[in-house]
Structure 1
Amino acid sequence: MDKNSKIYIAGHRGMVGSAVWRALEKKGYSNLIGRTSSALDLKNQEAVLKFLQEEQPDAIIDAAARVGGILANNDYPYQFLMENMQIQNSLIDGALKTDVEKFIFLGSSCIYPKFAPQPLKEDYLLTDALEPTNEWYAIAKITGVKACQAIRKQFNKDYVSLMPTNLYGYFDNFDLKTSHVLPAMIRKFHEAKLNNNADVTLWGSGTPMREFLFVDDMAEAVVYALENELPEYLYNVGSGKDITIKELAETIQKAVGHEGDIVWDADKPDGTPRKLMDVSKMKEIGWQYKTELDEGIAKTYRWFLENIENVKEVKM
């Protein structure tokens, strides 16, 4: 990519999209395009096609999605399935029709089967049943991966899918009804700290294992994929290390400075028992993560404190 190449980042105000924007600006890219959802409804295929015909970007990074944790996926299955397919179909098909040569599709580790062997390899895609609590989102993302693979196969275009592990960091969603586990814990421990170090109740047993990646590291992986022609259609992006949810809670509790007790509600679901990514393919082609979990959590908590007035409830 030339530094003057026109790059459209879909979802540029979200956690991942904004991190990608910052990373590209830092490297000297000066022709970045973004549109808010009010300016361009990505679910509207006709509007997206018109936009791409007018702008003619050299590359598209699809960081736009409807996302959320177990509760949100469970309560809004249709929206998580349909809206994500509408968004990515508009972008992928529009990119093909306007002859965009480079497309980077961002998905999620939840595309892999619930009981797949660990660590999760790219080859495990579509080999078994998905985790029921987020299968709607997973199925949508799988269709995006397969659409990009089909274009790559049929039209020989450089369309690649990156599957990140659990991401966290600046501009995360801290809404307790719709957020993922790490930002939800940050908010819970912070509010409990302010409430005389009240006890914090967390879902499940605390035994499932999860892997986490700081969003700025994910952005660097996207930039790497943009600047290089990757030989395969699908790559996992993560740290290659995981910890239990209990260990995560204790790490966040320490970072926040909460001194109360942690209570585990075993009646609530745990989700997938383990989700560790095999990131050897990315490592082989020259990319690996930089930010350790305790450092990333500290950075995220500082950002949360600095922006607490803007952390609002998300309306579904």
Structure 2
Amino acid sequence: MSIASTTSPFSLDRSARVYIAGHRGLVGSAIWRRFAEAGFTDLVGATSAEVDLRDRAAVFSFFERTRPDVVIDAAARVGGILANNTYPAEFLSDNLQIQVNVMDAANAVSVDRLLFLGSSCIYPKFAAQPIREDSLLTGPLEPTNDAYAIAKIAGIMQVQASRRQYGRHWISAMPTNLYGPGDNFHPEHSHVLPALMRRLHEAARDGVDEVTIWGSGTPRREFLYVDDLADATLFLLENYDSPDTINVGVGDDVSIRELAETIASAVGFTGALVQDTSKPDGTPRKLLDVSRLSDLGWRARMALPDGIANTYEWYLGHLESLRSK
């Protein structure tokens, strides 16, 4: 089956078989929604119980059976500062295995179009802001998530190596911090935005007078609504073909303190926000330069307050299932 229509080499045929690795996660589920909305009729996914992507033989067997035309690698072991800092060996090993197996299997069945999704943590801790794609490998990484970052850098290299050796039209994209419906709200293993949302919601519910926030509150972060990333994924697959990775973000950032205040307003928490400066801040600032993507014609649409409100609405609708997590 051809992946292309007659309009462009990368205008994807809506009947192409598209495998979305990690289709039940925050990112993968949003990509599935976007592709379904765009009219794709042959979307393929497999849960970790069905295919453990760390199991090389299982992955190769799955690709041989399904033979996808397009692959989107949105599968990863992810977590916040605490999880990354506590389990660096697992974050390195699991993510290396997942992406190596997926890409090797894709090469084995001659998949021509693949998109690998990484993370903005690949860039040096003190990279010039906003962070350009060419700052990769120009300085030391943030030590609290360097293991995860190294795995994602290896993924970029594998995309580039496959292009050189096999002539594949594979690409990689580096999203900024993501959030939205389907996020992980675990009190210890989640990222900063869902972690704050859960804590502030529970504080408002329980009538707590104050909530403590890790660090000084001054580090600045950029937040991209996951459905915007999903839209960018389809856009890139149809409009981008280069060995160079490309940033996906909004081009604007907020301090962690400002983020907490916005979430507090959304969930109705009116108590005090207290900074615990004994806890690590992580990277001082992480804002991506998204000019390359903007020049191609794509920009994020969701404003942060609106995205937080949508995410909180989803959270409230899934409290029962989240209570045990």
Q: TM-score, normalised by structure 1?
A: 0.98
For 1:139, the equivalent position in structure 2 comes to: 150
For 1:309, the equivalent position in structure 2 comes to: 320
On the 8 A contact 2:122/2:149 being kept in 1, the answer is yes
1:125 alignment partner, one of 102, 118, 136: 136
1:15 alignment partner, one of 17, 26, 44: 26
Within 1, Cα distance between the matches of 2:143 and 2:45? 34
For 1:257, the equivalent position in structure 2 comes to: 268
TM-aligned CA distance change 1:313 to 1:85, over 3 Å: farther
On the 8 A contact 1:175/1:313 being kept in 2, the answer is no
Whether 1:191 and 2:199 are equivalent positions in the alignment is no
For 1:46, the equivalent position in structure 2 comes to: 57
Within 1, Cα distance between the matches of 2:126 and 2:324? 34
Aligned ranges for residues 23-34 of structure 1 at < 5 Å?
23-34=34-45
On the 8 A contact 2:70/2:114 being kept in 1, the answer is yes
Gaps of 5+ in 1: none
1:152 alignment partner, one of 141, 158, 163: 163
Q: Secondary structure at the match of 2:247?
A: strand
Q: Secondary structure at the match of 1:220?
A: helix
Q: Secondary structure at the match of 1:182?
A: helix
Whether 1:172 and 2:183 are equivalent positions in the alignment is yes
Q: Secondary structure at the match of 1:60?
A: strand
Q: Secondary structure at the match of 2:199?
A: helix
Amino acid at match of 1:13: R
Aligned ranges for residues 81-100 of structure 1 at < 5 Å?
81-100=92-111
Deviations for 1:63-104, whole angstroms, at most 9, x for unmatched residues? 000000000011111100000000000001111111000110
On the 8 A contact 2:163/2:243 being kept in 1, the answer is no
Within 2, Cα distance between the matches of 1:303 and 1:198? 25
Gaps of 5+ in 2: 1-11
For 2:3, the equivalent position in structure 1 comes to: none
Q: TM-score, normalised by structure 2?
A: 0.95
Q: 1:232: Cα distance to partner?
A: 4.4
Q: 1:313: Cα distance to partner?
A: 4.9
Whether 1:63 and 2:84 are equivalent positions in the alignment is no
Deviations for 1:186-245, whole angstroms, at most 9, x for unmatched residues? 001000001114311110000000000000000001111222343443100000101110
Amino acid at match of 2:295: E
Within 2, Cα distance between the matches of 1:217 and 1:51? 29
For 1:275, the equivalent position in structure 2 comes to: 286
Within 2, Cα distance between the matches of 1:313 and 1:70? 22
Deviations for 1:106-155, whole angstroms, at most 9, x for unmatched residues? 01000000011111111011111000000010000000011001111222
Q: Secondary structure at the match of 2:72?
A: strand
Q: Secondary structure at the match of 2:149?
A: helix
Q: Secondary structure at the match of 1:247?
A: helix
Kindly tell me the number of residue pairs found equivalent between the two proteins.
314
Overall identity of the aligned pairs, in %: 54
Q: Secondary structure at the match of 1:298?
A: helix
Amino acid at match of 1:57: P
Amino acid at match of 1:288: R
